[in-house]
Amino acid sequence: MNRLQGKVSVITGGTSGFGFSIAELFVREGAKVIIAARRKEKGLTAIKKIKELTGAEVEFFQCDISQEDEVRDLVDKAIDIYKRVEVWVNNAGVIIRKNFEDTTEEEWDQLMDINLKGNFFCCKYIVPFMIKNRGGSIINISSNVGLLGKGNMPIYSTSKGGLVLLTRSLALRYAKHNIRVNSICPGTIITELNRDFYEKSKDSYKKMKELISAYPLGRLGAPIDVAYAALYLASNESQWVSGIALPVDGGYSAGRE
């Protein structure tokens, strides 16, 4: 039997990378999926591709999660169509690699608006419907640098660390309503968001070897690694799991030998 049979699931930032992989896997596991993202063209392309791969229909709604009114409309549309949402995946995010001293106020605001405030809006507006439905699963995609910090990415680390604490706080507050809130903390996973980090380096092969050397399991991650973690947290198999920050990082966060 499919592990998410009939569960209505909303995935923000679901047009590529982690989000697309999560959406495709959830569809294959029987979920009714809504993808939300800022770019309409990419959204329509994503749902067309998922239909080609799985034969299943997927909904797309355009939404900038940093805008409160757009998040409210997204939740209202999802409830209007399906009357409920059992799983909400906060995947939308941005990354800026820049020296701390050179980071501008605008760049700080951009990271916080999407990586933290946007997820706050999503949780704020879906929680009342999950309370009414007597339960649900919220999955926040954080990062392992939100657990450990990263000297050359302090603003990004701050935004993702804040998301981990938001996860734990909401898990405590809404446990009595059978709402589980968990986060996934991936390591380096090659997606469209970070591919240029090594491809544009002077020696891309050397940069790739350098990245891999940090991971005890000897490889970088793939989007499907994050998707399977999300599947577990979305399914009934994790019904006694809430408030965790799950590293999916090839052993990186375990420390150094």
pLDDT digit string, tens, across residues 186-231: 999 888 766 666 566 666 777 788 889 999 999 999 999 999 999 9
Cβ within 8 Å of residue 101, ≥6 positions away: none
Percent of the chain residues topping a pLDDT of 90: 85
Residue 68 banded pLDDT, cuts 50, 70, 90: very high
Residue 124 banded pLDDT, cuts 50, 70, 90: very high
Whether residue 38 is contained in a domain is answered as yes
Alpha-carbon span 43 to 17, nearest angstrom: 13
Residues 159 and 47 grouped into a single domain: yes
pLDDT at 201: 64
Residues 164 and 75 grouped into a single domain: yes
**Residue tagged active-site, from 82, 125, 156, 228:** 156
Whether residue 253 is contained in a domain is answered as no
Cβ within 8 Å of residue 154, ≥6 positions away: 100
Residue 23 has pLDDT above 80, yes or no: yes
pLDDT at 191: 80
Report the run of H or E that residue 141 belongs to, with start and end. Answer: strand 136-141
pLDDT at 200: 64
Whether residue 80 is contained in a domain is answered as yes
Residues 126 and 201 grouped into a single domain: no
Average pLDDT over residues 231-245: 98
Whether residue 256 is contained in a domain is answered as no
Whether residue 156 is contained in a domain is answered as yes
Average pLDDT over residues 77-105: 94
Give the tens place of pLDDT for each residue, 136-187: 999 999 999 999 988 888 999 999 999 999 999 999 999 999 999 999 999 9
Residue 84 has pLDDT above 90, yes or no: yes
- Contact between 171 and 181 under an 8 Å Cβ cutoff? The reply is yes
Give the tens place of pLDDT for each residue, 70-80: 999 999 999 99
Strands 8-12 and 136-141: unpaired
Residues 75 and 199 grouped into a single domain: no
Mean pLDDT of the chain: 94
219: left (phi over 0), alpha (psi -120 to 50) or beta: beta
Closest CA to 86 of 141, 127, 29: 127
Residues 102 and 138 grouped into a single domain: yes
Segments forming the whole domain that contains residue 72: 8-186+223-246
Domain count, the chain: 2
For residue 156, indicate whether it is catalytic. Answer: yes
Whether residue 255 is contained in a domain is answered as no
Residues 79 and 180 grouped into a single domain: yes
Residues 89 and 206 grouped into a single domain: no
| Range with lowest mean pLDDT among 54-58, 125-129, 193-197 | 193-197
Residues 110 and 176 grouped into a single domain: yes
Residue 30 has pLDDT above 90, yes or no: yes
Selected residue with higher pLDDT from 84 and 200? 84
Q: Where are the alpha helices (DSSP H) in 29-117?
A: 40-54, 68-82, 105-112
pLDDT at 211: 85
Helix (H/G/I), strand (E/B), else coil: 207: helix
Strands 59-62 and 87-90: unpaired
Whether residue 252 is contained in a domain is answered as no
- Contact between 73 and 97 under an 8 Å Cβ cutoff? The reply is no
Whether residue 3 is contained in a domain is answered as no
Residues 103 and 71 grouped into a single domain: yes
Residues 158 and 209 grouped into a single domain: no
Residues 40 and 80 grouped into a single domain: yes
Residues 137 and 29 grouped into a single domain: yes
Residue 52 has pLDDT above 90, yes or no: yes
Question: What CATH number does residue 130 fall under?
Answer: 3.40.50.720
